[in-house]
Amino acid sequence: MTSRLAGHALVECLIEQGIDTAFGVPGESYLAVLDGFHQHRDRIRFIACRQEGGAAFMAEAQGKLSGRPGICFVTRGPGATNASIGLHTAFQDSTPMVLFIGQVASDQRDREAFQEVDYRQMFGPGTLGMAKWVGEVHDPHRLPEYVARAFHTALQGRPGPVVLVLPEDMLTQPTAAAVLPRAEAAQAWPAPGGLRTLREMLLQAQRPFVIAGGSGWDAEGAKALERFAENWQLPVGCGFRFQDTFDNRHPLYAGDVGIGINPKLAQRVKDADLVIALGVRLGEMTTSGYTLLTPPRPKQKLVHIHAGPEELGRVYAADLLLQAAMPAAAKALESLTAPPSLPWTAWTEAAHADYEANHAAQPVEPLDMAVVMKTVQRLAPADTVYTNGAGNYSGWLHRYVRYHGLQHHGRTQLAPTSGAMGYGVPAAVAAALLHPERTVVNVAGDGDFLMTGQELATATGYGANRGAGRLVSLVVDNGTYGTIRMHQEREYPGRVSGSDLFNPDFAALATAYGWRSARVNRTEDFEAAFAEALRPGAPMLIHLKLDADVSTSRTTLSAIRDAARQRTGH
């Protein structure tokens, strides 16, 4: 192998791992790597973002879409702290990702040099940490070894983020070290004895329910899950913000088990006598604050199948624990033979009927978000990618958009289970740049959008709308941090503090970034605006003005306040 700068060798390692796009904010601490991107610009590109949080969100979205680690480069100190929000999102969402951080030169370490941070302490690995592993490369000849380990660690077991720290002087040293082969995730299969036990539990059940989700799925695994559900006529719900794991149009689909859950679905999970949790972590959001399944020993019989051994038994003392990769687990479940007749077919049919009924909504004037979401679904292509951050506004997207199973189009839902505000815009930009043939629709709240809205410039600069797909952002503007306002009215009715927002003209802001834009205040004006967004041209932002009282897809602030006052007597 010919000697070259270690920074160039790092880029070669990424290419060998199948990476053709990296996101980041440039910094003087890794100039040699940036020069490596220039050296290999015909094989890999570096997308320069406007803030490290946005760059890290883009890399996290890349990991979700590709199943390979998303790649982010940031500089030391402030760059790393800004990027931490994307790292935390990748950890809680179990998304493979590698965050490369430039570091001070080796001869300046441990002096609190300019922007110096100890990243092992900052991101230290652990079950409640922010990274699966934090490594620092001091020897340029071992750089390929560290990169290969980073990819293997990000992919194995429960996928997640890895941090690799790069001292500035190491990157400028020559090395002839050869790159190492492409890393692949090992496919662990469930124990045969456990599968026999699971089948026996199914045969004894009267009201079974499947909750599927998490990361690590592929198209074949999703197809196998569907066949398993069909063989046994099982109702399937999807875990919080993993609604594209199972085709929402399928007659066995029961709805999303997350924030704003259909009350009838919540009761159904509680009434089940057997819950098969497949790939989901069974965290606070999926369990409605640990109430659908009561820890540590739920009243339902519980089968928990997960790729990460550290997740099994962490919260719930399940009746059966199986460690397996999701594609392997689903294919194994598909092989379980069902009896000729099953006692729960009416239970399954009722679960889907409840899901269908949940699409009905009371009309809202002047802007009805239920109609807006249904219009988006009707007009957008079937393989559209939907993105959002955190906020009550996302409830309309989750409730009224029917996600196709990932076996049809790959991932179509990009949303943070970590509840990170500002995720949706960068994720949408990343999806549009990585898949220019696909339409991408971002739905953002006003507070959510202003966290990372400057990444509109990244979309413009790198030509996000040059392919056949379209990039659209819907900004739901109600002039308040809606989720916080909802909780205030519930706990301290009428005592509003700190949750008001003072917003710019979002349409004018989008125009300044080179986007098309439109303002929509009434339901009847939305369809024409969205149809225009789907026509060729620059990306488009649609500013939706919503009354602040319209709090969620199920209630209003007034109703929440009145109920709180009746409860408290204030």
DSSP letters spanning 461-501: HTTTTSSSS-EEEEEEE-SB-HHHHHHHHHHSTT---S-B-
From 175, 204, 232, the end of a domain falls on 175
Is 183 part of a structural domain of the chain?
A: no
Query: Do residue 116 and residue 204 come from a single domain?
Result: no
* Cα–Cα separations (whole angstroms), residue 349 to 144, 211, 228, 439, 539: 54, 16, 16, 33, 41
364 pLDDT tier (thresholds 50, 70, 90): very high
- Residues 238 and 340 reside in one and the same domain: yes
214 near 240, Cβ under 8 Å?
A: no
Give the residue numbers spanning the domain of 417: 369-568
385 in the same domain as 507 = yes
- Answer yes or no: is 182 within a domain: no
Q: Are 48 and 122 contacting, i.e. CB atoms less than 8 angstroms apart?
A: no
Q: Specify whether 375 is located in the same domain as 314.
A: no
> Which range among 145-159, 386-400, 474-488 shows the weakest confidence by mean pLDDT?
474-488
Regarding whether 197 and 168 lie in a shared domain, the answer is no
Mean pLDDT calculated for residue range 435-441? 97
CA angle 48, 153, 239 (to 5 degrees): 85
List, for residues 1-37, the tens digit of each pLDDT value. Answer: 789 999 999 999 999 999 999 999 999 999 999 999 9
Confidence of residue 486 (pLDDT cuts 50, 70, 90): confident
Q: pTM, whole model, 2 decimals? A: 0.96
Q: Using CA of residue 303, residue 306, residue 309, residue 314, what is the dihedral sign?
A: negative
Q: Which of 333, 357, 381 is the last residue of a domain?
A: 357
Question: Mean pLDDT over residues 280-293, rounded?
Answer: 95
Identify the weakest region by mean pLDDT among 139-148, 422-431, 554-563.
554-563
pLDDT at 369 over 70: yes
* Per-residue pLDDT at 304: 98
Residues 436 and 465 in one domain: yes
Domain count, the chain: 3
Q: Does residue 335 have a pLDDT over 70?
A: yes
pLDDT tens track for 94-107: 999 999 999 988 88
387 and 320 in a common domain: no
> Per residue in 198-217, pLDDT tens?
999 999 999 999 999 999 99
209 and 124 in a common domain? no
Q: Is residue 364 in a domain?
A: no
HSE of 172, CA atoms in CB hemisphere, 13 A: 12
Tokens (6 digits) for 355: 């899901």
* Bridge partners (DSSP) listed for residue 100: 73, 164
Maximum Cα–Cα distance across the chain = 78
CA–CA dist 345, 6 (Å, integer): 61
347 inside domain = yes
- For residue 126, the model assigns a pLDDT of 64
| Residues 165, 264 within the same domain | no
Q: Do 280 and 312 share a structural domain? A: yes
pLDDT per residue as tens digits for the range 370-426: 999 999 999 999 999 999 999 999 999 999 999 999 999 999 999 999 999 999 999
Alpha carbon distance 122, 133 (integer Å): 12
Closest to 520 measured CA to CA, from 381, 380, 388, 368: 368
Burial of 266 from C-beta contacts in 10 A (0-12 / 13-18 / 19+): middle
Is residue 295 a contact partner of residue 313, using CB atoms and an 8 Å limit? no
Q: Mean per-residue pLDDT for 49-71? A: 98
Q: Please compute the mean of the pLDDT values over residues 69-85 and round it to a whole number.
A: 97
Respond yes or no on whether the N-terminal peptide bond of residue 208 is cis (omega within 30° of 0).
no
In a domain? residue 98: yes
Averaged pLDDT, 516-542: 98
pLDDT, mean of residues 304-312: 96
Tell me: do 80 and 165 sit in the same domain. Answer: yes
Look at residues 304, 337, 357 and tell me which one is the last residue of a structural domain.
357
Residue 225 lies in a domain: yes
**Which range (49-63, 165-179, 494-508, 514-528) has the least confidence?**
494-508
Q: Which two tokens stand for residue 248?
A: 């929402």
DSSP string for 384-443: -EEEE-SSTTHHHHHHH--PPPHHHHS--EE--TT--TT-HHHHHHHHHHH-TTS-EEEE
Alpha helices (H) along 205-296: 219-232, 263-271
Residues 79 and 30 in one domain: yes
* The amino acid at 385: V
Residue 425 is part of a domain; what is its CATH number? Answer: 3.40.50.970
